[in-house]
Amino acid sequence: MTITAAAAANSTDGRPASHHVSDIATHPAYRPDIDGLRAVAVLGVLVYHAFPQALAGGFAGVDVFFVISGFLITTILLKSFERGAFSLLDFYARRILRLFPVLVVVLLFSLLAGAFVFLPSDYEKLAVNTLGGVAFIANILFATDTGYFAGIAESNPVLHLWSLGIEEQFYVVWPLLLFAIFRRSIHMGWTMAVLIAVSFLYSVYLVEVDRSWAFYSPLSRFWELGAGGLLAYLMQYPKPAMVRALLAFNASFGFRKEREAGEVLRHLASLIGLALVTASFFILSPSGVFPGLGALMPVLGSVLLIAAGPRAAMNRLLLSRHVMVGIGLISYPLYLWHWPLLALAANANSDGSYVATRNLTLAMVSLSFLLAWLSYRYIEKPLRQRGTRAGKVASLSLAMTATAVAACSIWMLQGAPQRLPAELRDELATGLRDEAWMAGLRRGICHNMIYSGKGLGERADCFPDGHPSIMLWGDSHAASLRVGLDALRASEPFAIWQYTTDATAPLFTSEMFNNMKRPLSFVNGAVLDTLRVHAPDTILLHAVWRYYLSDANRMADLLEEAVRVIHQAAPDSRIVVLGPIPVWRAGLQQILFNYYWRHGATPAGERISFGLLPSLQEFDAVLEARMRHANVPYISAMKELCNEAGCLIRTGPGRAGIMYVDDQHLSASGSKYLAQKILPRLLGKVSGAE
């Protein structure tokens, strides 16, 4: 994590981490305010992970760490260049000494605890992700697998290592680049500025094109660490233009002494910097533009705070406080410990009440602080003070290798399904969200076509001729019905149309956006031209409605508007709304695993309420009443899948009978079950407002 480099440079005990002469000669003076800034950053991240609604932009704390890291490490590098003491081997030896000790312990803990919490498929993925953490490429793995803001991220206890990966990838290039510039007497400041500008513009562009890669790419994050590096250069080699600007400031405000003006600027910078960092924690959100322009606030704020220096008002009065410095000292182990504890607890706690869940979260946060302090006191400090550098580097490298071997073993054992109770093994040994299920969505054919830039898909595939015809229109929930409807065509022929896109409900509003930051009205408007000349008999609107709005009445307003707009384009089509399906607190297979550990047995019936997300019945009831009042046919999926005993969890024995592939998407068997229930109404064989 970014705190690693910063902590390595900003010695946690006020002295260089090693007592070699070269270390002392190149190490920057200790600044307690930087430890305090690190505390602000880690607290932002921790609160966001524990209670995201309380601090929606707390994830920007990582950007603060990036700036701190770039500043401190670049300061060390520049000093080592000046004194002729630069050694790449020495640089990476320091990195190992700082990164590996607590990281090895946390990775081994996650693998051990995961054996008691995770299903084989998730445990296997944890092993792969652990290897990514060991190799410092976790960010690249996650860019193609798990979005940082996605709900399923909770199944990954090492998700937070993405930032450590970015930092270490930066430091593969940065020391060599700076050394080459220094040796060739190229203008270092301007070179840094150009590289930062290019990286920032790339980040702005990438946010619009591929938001996940923009978040995880080292190239789109380079400018944040580079900003800290450029600040280090300017503070070490102040330019005449900076002095002239200060003199101009003096003249305009009537300061008699340059120092007076400097102090005012210093206080102003610290005040504005802290305001920017704090504001970013509250203003930014997972649905906003980030990183790109969104990362400017925390980055600029961090630069101003560091530039202001330890004597500046906010740095001295707030950041240098003992409690802030203390948290800063343990910020690296605190960052490493907090997320695995929260993620493991979230997976194990699939049926806790709001109060119980909140108390468990608070307990994990408290445990994070305790483990962070213990790690600092009994792992980091003793290691810093004892033994030779060569011996410690060798031992830590061996320990990290052993961690990789353990992860490889779990991976090769495919998550060790032998851990599961015999009566659950057939149902839970392998995951259901696999390539076969994804193929059933018709991804790349009729599903997610806008993401691939292929328009609406081929007419023969997605809007075929034939009657009767049913069009699936909605998000991935609607797409998951395709395989079920397909299976029914052998006994009752009908044509299936499909226009489905992830995170894109069939609504016409410019206030909601999908994963590509496209307004729903823009995405869904593309199909209206087709409907005006070629329309199906029935249009089924379906989505995970509550994901987009928790206010059922407001959602009903948007649905009524959508029905009106679609009717204008296809007046002869019958429009049916399918209500939300049940949503679980975790993947259904995980729910069954947790149920076993809680009750010592598998569920007795075919329906359970254990692990169900509450309030959907109420949401569904409001939608049904509103649609009935508007004379729009409505099918309650909740009523089809649930009763007083709970909601349906399986349609038959074994893995193939499980109803959901995760916490909310129907499996092939679940899709077929619901399709059988609703098909007569879609074909108009049941009259009335359903």
pLDDT in tens, 256-276: 554 555 678 889 999 999 999
Is residue 308 domain-resident? yes
Q: Are 74 and 90 in contact (CB under 8 A)?
A: no
In this structure, are 490 and 544 located in the same domain? yes
Element (H, E) at 37: helix 32-50
Is residue 656 domain-resident? no
Q: Are 121 and 428 in contact (CB under 8 A)?
A: no
CA 649 to chain CA centroid, nearest Å: 28
SS3 481: coil
Is residue 116 domain-resident? yes
Is residue 465 domain-resident? yes
Of 636, 650, 644, 546, which is closest to residue 588 (Cα–Cα)?
650
In this structure, are 59 and 10 located in the same domain? yes
Pair of tokens at residue 264: 């005012």
In this structure, are 366 and 477 located in the same domain? no
> What confidence score (pLDDT) does residue 253 get?
57
In this structure, are 171 and 320 located in the same domain? yes
pLDDT band at 242 (very low <50, low <70, confident <90, very high): low
Quick check: pTM over 0.75?
yes
Arithmetic mean of pLDDT over the chain:
89
Q: What is the pLDDT of residues 170-213, one digit of tens each?
A: 999 999 999 998 887 778 899 999 999 999 999 999 998 888 89
pLDDT band at 58 (very low <50, low <70, confident <90, very high): very high
- Give the pairing type, strands 646-648 and 642-643: antiparallel
Residue whose tokens read 């204008």: 568
Is residue 252 domain-resident? yes
For 247, list phi and psi in degrees, rounded to 5. Answer: -65, -40
Average pLDDT over residues 494-507: 94
Of 609, 50, 598, which is closest to residue 349 (Cα–Cα)?
598
- Give the pairing type, strands 646-648 and 607-608: antiparallel
CA distance 608 to 590: 14
Q: What is the pLDDT of residues 18-52, one digit of tens each?
A: 344 445 455 678 899 999 999 999 999 999 999 99
In this structure, are 254 and 380 located in the same domain? yes
Of 264, 280, 279, 268, which is closest to residue 304 (Cα–Cα)?
268
In this structure, are 493 and 386 located in the same domain? no
> What confidence score (pLDDT) does residue 17 get?
39
Give the strands of the sheet with 574-578, arranged side by side: 495-500, 469-474, 538-542, 574-578, 634-635
Residue 222 to residues 299, 304, 635: CA-CA distances in angstroms? 12, 19, 50
| 105 pLDDT more than 90 | yes
Considering just the CA atoms, what is the radius of gyration of the chain in Å?
A: 28
List CB contacts of 154: < 8 A, sequence separation 6 or more.
342, 343, 346, 347, 586
Question: Lowest-confidence range among 20-29, 60-69, 284-293, 641-650?
Answer: 20-29
Q: Are 495 and 459 in contact (CB under 8 A)?
A: no
> What confidence score (pLDDT) does residue 208 get?
86
Range of the domain at 353: 2-417
Element (H, E) at 671: helix 668-682
Question: What are the start-end ranges of the H helices in 527-575?
Answer: 528-533, 545-548, 552-569
pLDDT band at 455 (very low <50, low <70, confident <90, very high): confident
Query: What are the strands, taking DSSP E only, across 144-292?
Result: none
CA distance 404 to 108: 9
Assess whether the previous peptide bond of 680 is cis (omega < 30° from 0).
no
Domain boundary at 388, 417, 446, which?
417
Average pLDDT over residues 158-167: 96
CA distance 473 to 463: 12
For 495, list phi and psi in degrees, rounded to 5. Answer: -90, 140
In this structure, are 248 and 204 located in the same domain? yes
- DSSP label of 160: G
Q: Indicate the number of domains in the chain.
A: 2
Average pLDDT over residues 408-427: 92
Domain boundary at 417, 445, 469, which?
417
In this structure, are 439 and 412 located in the same domain? no
| CA 658-500-214 angle, 5° bins | 95
Average pLDDT over residues 408-422: 93
Q: Are 538 and 684 in contact (CB under 8 A)?
A: yes
List CB contacts of 659: < 8 A, sequence separation 6 or more.
588, 641, 648, 649, 650, 651, 666, 667, 669, 670, 673
Average pLDDT over residues 497-515: 91
Percent pLDDT > 70 in the chain is 90
- Give the pairing type, strands 538-542 and 574-578: parallel
Is residue 209 domain-resident? yes
In this structure, are 354 and 452 located in the same domain? no
CA distance 307 to 242: 13
| 254 pLDDT more than 80 | no
CA distance 190 to 179: 15
Q: Are 131 and 408 in contact (CB under 8 A)?
A: yes
In this structure, are 380 and 440 located in the same domain? no
Pair of tokens at residue 420: 């599961």
Q: Are 544 and 475 in contact (CB under 8 A)?
A: yes
SS3 496: strand
Pair of tokens at residue 579: 């209500």
> What confidence score (pLDDT) does residue 350 get?
83
Burial class (CB in 10 A: 0-12, 13-18, 19+), 66: buried
Residue whose tokens read 């399923």: 152
SS3 3: helix
CA distance 140 to 687: 53
Residue whose tokens read 């007497």: 185
CB atoms within 10 A of CB 315: 26
CA dihedral 527, 533, 539, 545 (to 10 degrees): 20
CA distance 445 to 442: 5
In this structure, are 274 and 322 located in the same domain? yes
Q: Which of 235-244, 285-294, 636-645 has the highest mean pLDDT?
A: 636-645
Query: What are the strands, taking DSSP E only, across 444-565?
Result: 469-474, 495-500, 538-542
Question: Lowest-confidence range among 2-16, 247-261, 427-441, 565-579?
Answer: 2-16
Is residue 602 domain-resident? no
Q: What is the pLDDT of residues 318-364, one digit of tens each?
A: 999 999 999 999 999 999 999 999 999 999 988 877 888 899 999 99
Of 452, 555, 559, 540, which is closest to residue 499 (Cα–Cα)?
540
Is residue 65 domain-resident? yes
Q: What is the CATH number of the domain that holds 458?
A: 3.40.50.1110
Pair of tokens at residue 656: 């193939």
In this structure, are 407 and 441 located in the same domain? no
Q: What is the pLDDT of residues 74-97, one digit of tens each?
A: 999 999 998 888 899 999 999 999
